């Protein structure tokens, strides 16, 4: 990674591998900027567009911000992709940008043999309420707002072995904006101690970043982690994509497994996620209020562990 520019107005850079950059404009406003794009994860082009947009928007929510504008990033094989397919991708993305209350103001496309799509998103956040992934506190409870396991189900879709119900469920979760989770936190406790979103490095990978940045241990209860429908079946069949296997190998030196955990379940904890949920910590005393309001709103919220001091950054029990 090249050395990034430094400036007193940069509130969050790349020092702790946070989800987005944050730049102070005034005492009351800071910009949140992020970019993400990837190859198709599902067969339907409109769903792919929706997922690509939801995934790109997520980093702004993970910083506590509100998305304002988006620029489309598109790579398609010239003269190969049918116009109807391209139109469906763009239509799906536009729908999600609109649902987020943001505005699509342009974009850029290139010729590429393999389709890719995503967005550069700009949002705003108050400089005093920027959420970081490196500020968890000992004794905090650890929460997740979406299930894991999208990687194995996506692999099953690509291998044409996913059940229709599995495909439908994973698409619904990937298209779900993290706006509701962000608003729940803001409206009840205003700020978490720390926050990130779970994406390509899997739950354990992003938990590791939080643990290392905070100088603490994240202890995760394996059976408390929610799983996408069908992911257990696909994991038991060892249908993990290469990225998920790489994730597990990477975190293993930092990981203590306190009791026997089946390989398939441990694999799902490291499974590469697309458009995953928010992973955040809050003081234990705020938990009842947060959980009650989540239940009232119908906002998914899963308590999966706590922040401790330990010998290793990650504990699975």
Residue 113 and residue 151 share a domain: no
| 31 occurs within a structural domain | yes
Output the pTM of the full model: 0.95
Residue 286 and residue 152 share a domain: yes
Q: Pick from 70, 103, 129: which residue ends a domain?
A: 129
Helices 202-214 and 242-251, packing angle to 10 deg: 30
Residue 27 and residue 165 share a domain: no
**Digit-coded pLDDT (tens) for 197-209:** 999 999 999 999 9
pLDDT score, position 14: 79
Q: Residue 206: which domain range? A: 141-316
Residue 276 and residue 172 share a domain: yes
pLDDT score, position 17: 77
CATH of the domain at 122: 3.30.1330.10
| 85 occurs within a structural domain | yes
CA 92 to CA 249: how far, in whole Å? 35
| 134 occurs within a structural domain | no
- Using an 8 Å Cβ cutoff, are 118 and 262 in contact? no
| 5 occurs within a structural domain | no
| 81 occurs within a structural domain | yes
**For the CA atoms of 118, 120, 126, 130, what is the dihedral angle to 10 degrees?**
60
- Using an 8 Å Cβ cutoff, are 61 and 178 in contact? yes
pLDDT score, position 6: 75
Residue 167 and residue 42 share a domain: no
CATH of the domain at 306: 3.90.650.10
**Digit-coded pLDDT (tens) for 243-293:** 999 999 999 999 999 999 999 999 999 999 999 999 999 999 999 999 999
| 1 occurs within a structural domain | no
| 2 occurs within a structural domain | no
Residue 201 and residue 117 share a domain: no
Residue 146 and residue 119 share a domain: no
Domain count of the chain? 2
Strand-pair partners of 31: 23, 124
| 195 occurs within a structural domain | yes
Q: List, for the chain, all residue ranges whose pLDDT scores fall below the cut of 50.
A: 1
Residue 91 and residue 149 share a domain: no
Q: Pick from 129, 153, 178: which residue ends a domain?
A: 129
**Nearest Cα to 184, choosing from 110, 78, 294, 42?**
294
């Amino acid at each position: 990674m090249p050395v990034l520019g430094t400036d007193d107005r940069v509130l969050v850079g790349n020092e702790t591998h946070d989800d987005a950059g944050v730049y102070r404009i005034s005492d009351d406003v800071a910009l949140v900027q992020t970019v993400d794009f990837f190859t198709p994860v599902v067969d339907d082009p409109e769903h792919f567009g929706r997922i690509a947009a939801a995934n790109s928007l997520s980093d702004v929510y993970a910083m506590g911000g509100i998305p304002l504008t988006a620029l489309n990033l598109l790579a398609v094989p010239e003269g190969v992709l049918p116009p109807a397919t391209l139109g469906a991708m763009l239509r799906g993305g536009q729908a999600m940008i609109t649902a987020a209350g943001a505005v699509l103001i342009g974009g850029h496309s290139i010729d590429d043999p393999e389709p890719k799509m995503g967005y550069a998103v700009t949002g705003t956040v108050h400089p005093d309420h920027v959420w970081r992934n490196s500020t968890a506190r000992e004794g905090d409870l650890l929460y997740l707002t979406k299930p894991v396991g999208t990687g194995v189900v996506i692999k099953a879709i690509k291998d044409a072995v996913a059940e229709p119900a599995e495909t439908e469920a994973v698409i619904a979760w990937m298209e779900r904006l993290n706006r509701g989770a962000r608003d729940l936190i803001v409206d009840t406790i205003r700020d978490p101690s720390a926050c990130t979103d779970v994406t390509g490095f899997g739950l354990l990978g992003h938990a590791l970043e939080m643990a290392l940045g905070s100088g603490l241990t994240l202890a995760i209860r394996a059976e408390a982690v929610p799983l996408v429908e069908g992911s257990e079946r696909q994991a038991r069949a060892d249908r993990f994509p290469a990225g998920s296997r790489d994730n597990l190998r990477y975190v293993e030196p930092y990981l203590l497994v306190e009791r026997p955990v089946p390989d398939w379940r441990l694999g799902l904890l490291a499974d590469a996620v697309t458009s995953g949920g928010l992973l955040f910590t809050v003081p234990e005393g705020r938990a009842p209020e947060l959980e009650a309001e989540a239940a009232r709103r119908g906002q998914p919220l899963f308590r999966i562990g706590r922040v401790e001091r330990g010998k290793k950054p990650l504990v699975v029990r």
